Structure 1
Amino acid sequence: MKKLVLTGAAGRLGSYLREPLTQLADELVSTDIAEDIGTLYDGESYVQADLADLDAMIDVLKDADMVVHFGAIGDEAPFEDILGPNIIGAHNVWEAAYRNGVKRVIYASSVHAVGMHKIADNIGIDAPHRPDTFYGLAKCFAEDLGRMYWDKRGVESVHMRIFSCAQVVAPRSLSTWLSYDDLIRMVTAAITAQTVGFSIVYGISNNDRAPVHNTGAGHIGYKPQDNAEQFAETVLANAPPADPTNLAQMTIGGPFATIPLGESGLATMTIVDDSKKT
């Protein structure tokens, strides 16, 4: 490929994607609303741009082959805050992709698009939307947007329902962990797959306790290699007793299933900021 675009390049997950994405195209254009993202890798350039600005997205995606769309508010927030970057921003990325003839959008969707499903249901990629927050609702919108742009305009997309892409520090992560290496494997597979049309894949590692399955997504070629079970003894030794009446422990959305709409879910969790520095 000649040109890849990465939105959300200043974020924690974006920081791990930048270097490997430079290996997949002659040019990587990273973009975010931050003033800068540190030292650039060989073949990488940076453009400060707002997802809610359609003209800016059209300019950034000019001559791109594909776009890896990770830009958004990454937590529950009031609907009026989610609307610009997460909903209007998704529309602008797909519309800019269509106008520029971009082949494929690789989208960072989320477990929270289906977060109210029960763990015991062991859902697959065909499970209906069941969002747990405004944040999850925005992911549902983008998934439906991607399906429509494939059906009506021929823009391919892969929607990666990402789970817990962070250090394993709590019992829930033993089932929901996505390692950074598996994140890179999944994004690479979504880019290099021959054809995808409209596709959904769960962004989760090869965990023994995984609450979902990727049956039906084999054409993408994502083969996770890491397993959170290696952390089980340490994590469970320090954990309080399980509570089967706690909805946060019964649903795949975890604590996002129980927080009031519009209030932060990450504030109830322990997320280590181990962003990759350049």
Structure 2
Amino acid sequence: MKRLLITGAAGNLGKICREGLKGHADILRLSDISPMDPAGPNEEVVPCDLADRAAVHELTKDVDGIIHLGGISVEAAFDDLLQANLLGTYNLYEGARNNGKPRILFASSNHAIGFHKRTTKLDDTSTQRPDSLYGVTKCYGEALASYYYDKFDVETVSLRIGSCFEKPLNRRMLSTWMSPRDFVSLMKAVFDAPMTGHLVMYGVSDNTSKWWSNDHADFLGWKPQDSSEKYRADVEAAFEPEDRHDKAVIYQGGPFAANGHFED
């Protein structure tokens, strides 16, 4: 690729992509509403508010691919989510549609399916069951991605990301963890593939106790290399056993499913 746009570049996943995807495109165009480090070699730093449609139109010009990480990544008030996650995602897709239809990696979330029980194995055909207003916005993003593919042939991989950190931070993450290395290798596979259509995937490493299947996406040729299993002994020693009656344990969304309505 000549130019790859990364929105939300100031965040955790954005920084992982900024470092891990050096050289995978001639130029990385990095954007966020928050401060970012100055542009390095083969980088462009372009601050942008995703709620500003005209600015997003300019941001999406002359790019061959988009990793859309921008927006609010936690539960929040609806009015805040409306601007960042709903309007912002719409503006991004309109920008892509009007600027050459680059392929998009949409950062969805496990919270789009968080009210499924842990005892249920999910795949791309599993019903959306959001566990929060934040999760609802990710369901919207997936629906928007589907619409823009069917209507306008804008390809998207909607990635329901689990927990991407250097190592699992609690017992739940033994199932939801995705290593930064696996995340970066998947980004490369997504943009190297001849075609994707609108593909729903789960962002998870090859954990022993995982709840999600990506068998339907084998055509990408991506195989996760890491597993949370090597951290299991340390995590189990650091955290008390889980209470099977706790909603945060029953449901895949964890605390997001157990918590009350954010605006109450």
The alpha-carbon deviation at position 39 of structure 1 amounts to: 3.9
**What amino acid maps onto 1:214 in structure 2?**
N
Deviation string, structure 1 residues 91-114 (Cα, Å, up to 9, x no partner): 011110000013211111100010
Are residues 1:106 and 2:100 paired? no
Deviation string, structure 1 residues 48-74 (Cα, Å, up to 9, x no partner): 100111111110111111111000111
| Alpha-carbon distance in structure 1 between the residues aligned to 2:174 and 2:22 | 31
**What amino acid maps onto 1:122 in structure 2?**
K
| Alpha-carbon distance in structure 1 between the residues aligned to 2:8 and 2:45 | 11
Paired position in structure 1 for 2:244: 244
Paired position in structure 2 for 1:219: 219
RMSD, aligned CA: 1.2
The alpha-carbon deviation at position 123 of structure 1 amounts to: 1.1
- Please tell me whether the aligned partners of residues 22 and 41 of structure 1 are also in contact (alpha carbons under 8 angstroms): no
| Alpha-carbon distance in structure 2 between the residues aligned to 1:102 and 1:27 | 18
The alpha-carbon deviation at position 237 of structure 1 amounts to: 1.5
Paired position in structure 1 for 2:259: 259
| Alpha-carbon distance in structure 2 between the residues aligned to 1:137 and 1:184 | 26
| Alpha-carbon distance in structure 2 between the residues aligned to 1:194 and 1:130 | 31
1:133-212 matched pairs, under 5 angstroms: 133-166=132-165, 167-212=167-212
Paired position in structure 1 for 2:128: 129
Deviation string, structure 1 residues 240-263 (Cα, Å, up to 9, x no partner): 122111111121111111112227
Q: Secondary structure at the match of 2:6?
A: strand
**TM-score using structure 1 length:** 0.91
Q: Secondary structure at the match of 1:257?
A: helix
| Alpha-carbon distance in structure 1 between the residues aligned to 2:182 and 2:102 | 24
Paired position in structure 2 for 1:41: 40
- Please tell me whether the aligned partners of residues 101 and 153 of structure 2 are also in contact (alpha carbons under 8 angstroms): no
Deviation string, structure 1 residues 153-191 (Cα, Å, up to 9, x no partner): 010000111001123121111111111111101111111
Q: Secondary structure at the match of 2:44?
A: strand
**What amino acid maps onto 2:262 in structure 1?**
G
Contiguous gaps of at least 5 residues in structure 1: 264-278
- Percent identity among equivalent residues? 40
- Please tell me whether the aligned partners of residues 3 and 27 of structure 1 are also in contact (alpha carbons under 8 angstroms): yes
Tell me how many residue pairs correspond in the alignment.
262
| Alpha-carbon distance in structure 1 between the residues aligned to 2:94 and 2:22 | 24
**What amino acid maps onto 2:129 in structure 1?**
R
- Please tell me whether the aligned partners of residues 67 and 105 of structure 1 are also in contact (alpha carbons under 8 angstroms): yes
Are residues 1:14 and 2:14 paired? yes
**TM-score using structure 2 length:** 0.96
- The answer to which of 212-221 and 106-115 deviates more is 212-221
Query: Structure 1 segments of 4 or more deviating over 4 A?
Result: none
| Alpha-carbon distance in structure 1 between the residues aligned to 2:181 and 2:39 | 20
| Alpha-carbon distance in structure 1 between the residues aligned to 2:235 and 2:142 | 34
**What amino acid maps onto 1:218 in structure 2?**
D
Paired position in structure 2 for 1:50: 49
